[in-house]
């Protein structure tokens, strides 16, 4: 499939995916530009405008902004220019896109005509509230150049490792009061897709006991690849109470232990790197709005699809945390520096989940990341997610 200006869409994605790496490592000199001129990819005026840029970063970004408009041969000629100028390591990064007959399966800008029925029905359920098929919007060159010195370095590819733990089904004997979290499987797929598009390696684990979650998190934190990537993401989806989430066996895993597992003392591989946490679970029993169906031991008889991710009443209330909160945003300093956490609910309240479309919080996080990650700080994104979720609850 051709892009709007003639370049194959998969090739355009290749340039977007590795744009930051190319900006950091590529050398665009006269020899490189001449190679593209020889292939009739760049005109003389284009070549002059690129070489006239005052810095290497600006030369690279101008070139990358022009290439998608130069036809279906531009990408292969660009790779040839990399080889001709002894930049084979960058060509290797892009090689997976060269002569590929189909779009890469992890990219969502082009949706294959054939797909598993379960995936198709899942996306149709989400269409009303979540732009699941919309690709993540890329950062513009000008914005990157303006803010790169004040932001975390996010130049690795992959950007980082992401762990999604989702408890959907609970042991009816060990946890009789914890109902199945219908819609939780939708959240898994939404998170897997959006973080894959953001260039993370995503691991999804389903239905773990409290001890199983602990072991999974410990193993994830020890992965040596953390040393070479720029960031880390952890998503926990389950029933919960203030300060803890439930395993499938009805036992609680303390969130404070989770944060501790990734602090500077316990996870040195991630020191000075952003660590992002997203918690879809209740933090109490209070409802901050009218809802149709509570997901706890005492259920109202209602035909709606909305549920909450609360657990047994009263458990965990005595486990207080002296941490500053603003909406769903939590930042811990200094021992737990470079951490940010988005919660699905305020302290003491329930988190809402649609049994067909997934949780309100994850829907809003997905939408916000796709459209605003390109130019908005994550803390501001979470504030907007908080506002949007509140509006949903009032509708």
* pLDDT tens digit sequence for 184-193: 899 999 999 9
Contact 83, 35 (CB under 8 A): no
Residue 291 to residue 286: CA distance in whole angstroms: 11
* Same domain flag for 265 and 212: yes
| pLDDT value for 182 | 87
Query: Other C-beta atoms within 10 Å of 288: how many?
Result: 15
113 pLDDT above the threshold of 90: no
72 and 189, same domain (yes or no): no
Task: Name which of 18-22, 192-196, 359-363 the model is least confident about.
Answer: 18-22
Give the chain's domain count.
2
Residues 121, 93 share a domain: no
193 and 230 in a single domain? The answer is: yes
CATH number at residue 80: 1.10.533.10
In the structure, what pLDDT confidence band is assigned to residue 292 with cuts at 50, 70 and 90?
very low
User: What DSSP state is assigned to residue 177?
Assistant: T
- 61 and 203 co-located in one domain: no
Same-domain check for residues 27 and 171 = no
57 has catalytic annotation: no
* Greatest mean pLDDT among 9-13, 212-216, 391-395: 212-216
Q: Are residues 139 and 262 in the same domain?
A: yes
**Tokens found for residue 14:** 């290749």
pTM confidence score:
0.59
**Residue 38: domain span:** 9-97
The H-assigned helical ranges of the chain are 9-17, 19-25, 30-38, 44-51, 56-66, 74-84, 88-94, 117-126, 141-147, 184-197, 210-221, 255-261, 360-372, 378-394
Catalytic, out of 232, 235, 239, 341: 239
* Cβ contact 144:374 at 8 Å: no
Domain boundary among 97, 128, 143: 97
Question: What CATH number did the domain enclosing 308 receive?
Answer: 3.40.50.1460
User: Of 62, 97, 132, which marks where a domain is finished?
Assistant: 97
Q: Which of 8-17, 101-110, 135-144, 259-268 has the highest mean pLDDT?
A: 259-268
Q: Which range among 13-27, 165-179, 317-331 shows the weakest confidence by mean pLDDT? A: 317-331
If asked whether residues 208 and 264 sit together in one domain, one would say yes
Query: Are 146 and 281 members of one domain?
Result: yes
Task: Identify whether 172 is part of a domain.
Answer: yes
Look at residue 322 in the predicted model and tell me its pLDDT.
43
Given 125, 235, 282, 341, which residue is catalytic?
A: 282
Q: Residues of the chain with pLDDT > 70: what percent? A: 71
In a domain, 361, yes or no: yes
Is position 282 annotated as part of the catalytic site? yes
Residues 136 and 276 both lie in one domain: yes
- Classified as helix, coil or strand, 270 is helix
342 shares its domain with 224: yes
In the chain, what percentage of residues exceed pLDDT 90?
A: 37
What average pLDDT does this structure show over 61-75?
A: 88
Q: What is the pLDDT of residue 69?
A: 86
What is the mean predicted confidence (pLDDT) over 41-65?
86
**92, 128: one domain:** no
CB 173 within 8 A of CB 113: no
Position 330 in a domain: yes
Of residues 290 and 66, the one with the higher pLDDT is: 66
**Residue 240 above 70 pLDDT?**
yes
- pLDDT for 72: 87
């Amino acid at each position: 499939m051709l892009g709007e200006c003639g370049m194959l869409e998969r090739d355009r994605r290749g340039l977007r995916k590795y744009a930051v790496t190319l900006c950091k490592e590529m050398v665009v000199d006269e020899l490189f530009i001449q190679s593209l001129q020889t292939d009739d990819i760049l005109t003389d005026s284009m070549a002059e405008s690129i070489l006239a840029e005052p810095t290497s970063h600006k030369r690279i970004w101008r070139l990358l902004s022009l290439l998608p408009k130069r036809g279906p041969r531009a990408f292969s000629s660009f790779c040839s220019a990399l080889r001709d100028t002894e930049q084979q390591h960058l060509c290797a990064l892009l090689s997976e896109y060269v002569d590929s007959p189909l779009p890469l399966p992890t990219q969502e800008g082009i949706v294959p005509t054939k797909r598993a029925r379960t995936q198709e029905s899942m996306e149709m359920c989400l269409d009303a509230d979540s732009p699941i098929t919309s690709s993540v919007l890329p950062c513009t060159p000008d914005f990157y150049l303006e803010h790169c010195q004040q932001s975390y370095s996010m130049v690795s590819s992959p950007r980082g490792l992401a762990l999604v733990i989702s408890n959907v089904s609970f042991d009816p004997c060990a946890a009789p009061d914890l109902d199945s979290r219908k819609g939780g499987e939708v959240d898994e797929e939404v998170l897997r897709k959006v973080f894959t598009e953001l260039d993370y390696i995503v691991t999804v684990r389903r239905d773990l006991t409290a001890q199983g979650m602990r072991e999974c998190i410990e193993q994830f934190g020890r992965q040596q690849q953390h040393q070479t990537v720029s960031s880390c993401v952890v998503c926990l989806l389950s029933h919960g109470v203030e300060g803890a989430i439930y395993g499938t066996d009805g036992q609680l895993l303390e969130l404070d232990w989770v944060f501790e597992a990734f602090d500077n003392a316990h996870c040195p591989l991630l020191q000075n790197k952003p660590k992002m946490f997203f918690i879809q679970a209740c933090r109490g029993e209070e409802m901050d709005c009218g809802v149709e169906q509570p997901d706890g031991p005492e259920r109202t008889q209602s035909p709606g699809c909305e549920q909450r991710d609360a657990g047994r009443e009263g458990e965990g209330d005595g486990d207080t945390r002296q941490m500053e909160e603003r909406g769903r945003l939590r930042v811990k300093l200094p021992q737990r520096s470079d951490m940010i956490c988005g919660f699905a609910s305020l302290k003491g309240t329930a988190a809402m989940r649609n049994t067909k479309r997934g949780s309100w919080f994850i829907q809003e996080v997905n939408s916000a990341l796709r459209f605003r990650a390109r130019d908005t700080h994550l803390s501001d994104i979470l504030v907007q997610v908080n506002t949007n979720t509140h509006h949903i609850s009032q509708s």
